[in-house]
Amino acid sequence: MTAQTKRAIFILVLSEFLVCLGISLVIPVMPFIKNELHLTATDMGIMTALFALAQFVASPIVGRLSDRIGRKPVLVVGLALYMVSEILFALTNHLYMFNISRLVGGLSAAMVVPTAMALAADITTHRQRAKVIGWLSAAFSGGLILGPGIGGLLAKIDYKAPFWSAGALGLLSAIALAWLLPNFKTQLTEATAPKPLKGQLKGLLTGAIVLLFALILISSFGLQGFESIYSIYVNEVFHFSLGNIALVLTLNGLTSLFLQVVLFDRLVVWFQETRVIRYCFLISALGTIWILLAHQKWEVIVATLFVFSAFDLLRPAITTLLTKISPDNQGLINGLNMSLTSVGNIIGPIMSGALLDVSPHYPYVIVTFFLIASFGMTYWLKLTYQTMDRTAA
């Protein structure tokens, strides 16, 4: 790996971490916002889902755009929009402005996350890819997991402090990326000439890829269905304080980062992607069941550790397998990946919020059902992938 490639990967990891940090900073202050503005859990779920809605609409368009004009300009604009989103959230106390902020943030994530994945796939070899995607996924998941912990700690100063801090970091990151990231546009356009969209989609939608996309949808639904109400759930059922929530999520974030940065590449070598995906769905389902049956705080903490760790290994495993099955048009592939993730992110928070208004346990019962179904689907994935390999041979 050249020095230029290493520098580019470092910048991509940092940028993806920052955006995902901003996505999840809102989680620990959700109970405060809910009570302060007299909102329902459904209102909070919709606010979270609007972020995912913007991602869903924009991701395939942005992915194809980055295939044509290059990755760097898309990344710079995405980070600038991230800054705007965080400052908007910090400036207001009105629900409609929070919603606008989340929409802008979703557009930002659609520009940064799949584009970073696509650029990483462009500039790495087949052998290096699992490790690099593991790093990027660690940044993605680490931002999502550490965000609530960091947000909770900063919220002790002022509940708007997390968003002012994120806005400042967004500005610095956009400047750093524009200055330091090499421009790979010429290299990309010489290597690949994007086909018409209809032809690209027809080539992509093979049995294995369709099933992987379905698993992406379900895993994102499960994660957001679990995480979007987590702080409210443990506050209402187990009487967790803001400090308790921040501690649990920070601990889980550090564990997930260790698993993705240090162990993910080795897990892929030992078990291959399909088995990693299967075991992660099983562990996340069992962990969610444990939370439903728990009576003590320590049980919730340990079960949460298992659930988040499994979710945070799922995404890089699925993404790595996708890039290996279909190495062309990485921008479109990662755009569709993020778009389907966004569908799950839309449905998960709205469903969980609505069910939480009825009973705090209902959301996790539904999440468990889908995780168990996904565990069963992974056996079909193995058969489909093996069939495709034999056909290609």
The verdict on residue 200 lying in a domain is yes
Half-sphere exposure of 318 (CA within 13 A, CB side): 34
Which tokens is 91 given? 């400036």
Mean pLDDT of 159-176: 82
Q: Is 31 within the bounds of a domain?
A: yes
**In 3-state terms, the chain is what percent helix, strand and coil (to 5)?**
90, 0, 10
Helix (H, G, I), strand (E, B) or coil at 240: coil
Per the structure, the complete domain to which residue 347 belongs is given by 7-392
Spatial CA neighbour of 348 closest among 227, 236, 216, 252: 227
H/E element holding 311?
helix 297-325
Asked, for residue 1, whether it belongs to a domain, the answer is: no
The size of the chain, in residues, is 393
In tens, the pLDDT along 170-189 reads 888 888 888 878 776 544 44
The answer for 182, left when phi > 0, alpha when psi is -120 to 50, beta otherwise, is beta
What share of the chain in percent tops pLDDT 70? 80
How would you class 194 by CB atoms within 10 Å of its CB: exposed for 0-12, middle for 13-18, buried for 19 or more? middle
| b/e code 134-143 from CB counts within 10 Å (16+ = b) | bbbbbbbbbb
Instruction: Tell me the DSSP string of 328-374.
Output: S-HHHHHHHHHHHHHHHHHHHHHHHHHHHHH-TTHHHHHHHHHHHHH
In the predicted model, what is the mean pLDDT of residues 147-176? Answer: 80
**Gap between the Cα atoms of 272 and 257, Å rounded:** 20
User: Is pLDDT of 311 > 60?
Assistant: yes
Inform me whether the pLDDT recorded for 89 exceeds 80: yes
In whole angstroms, what separates CA 328 from the centre of its chain?
22
Tell me what pLDDT residue 338 has.
67
Alpha-carbon gap, residue 68 to 192, rounded angstroms: 9
Residue 2 within any structural domain of the chain: no
What is the overall mean pLDDT for the chain?
A: 76
Q: How many helices (H) and strands (E) does the chain have?
A: 16, 0
Q: What pTM did the predictor assign?
A: 0.63
CATH of the domain at 292: 1.20.1250.20
* Position 161 in a domain: yes
Structural domain total, the chain: 1
CA distance 65 to 71: 9
pLDDT value at 101 more than 80: yes
Q: Considering the domain boundaries, does residue 250 fall inside one? A: yes
> Chain centroid to CA 8: how far?
21
**pLDDT per residue as tens digits for the range 315-368:** 778 777 776 665 555 556 666 666 676 677 677 777 887 888 888 888 888 888
Average of per-residue pLDDT across 196-220: 64
Q: How confident is the model at residue 287 (pLDDT cuts 50, 70, 90)?
A: very high
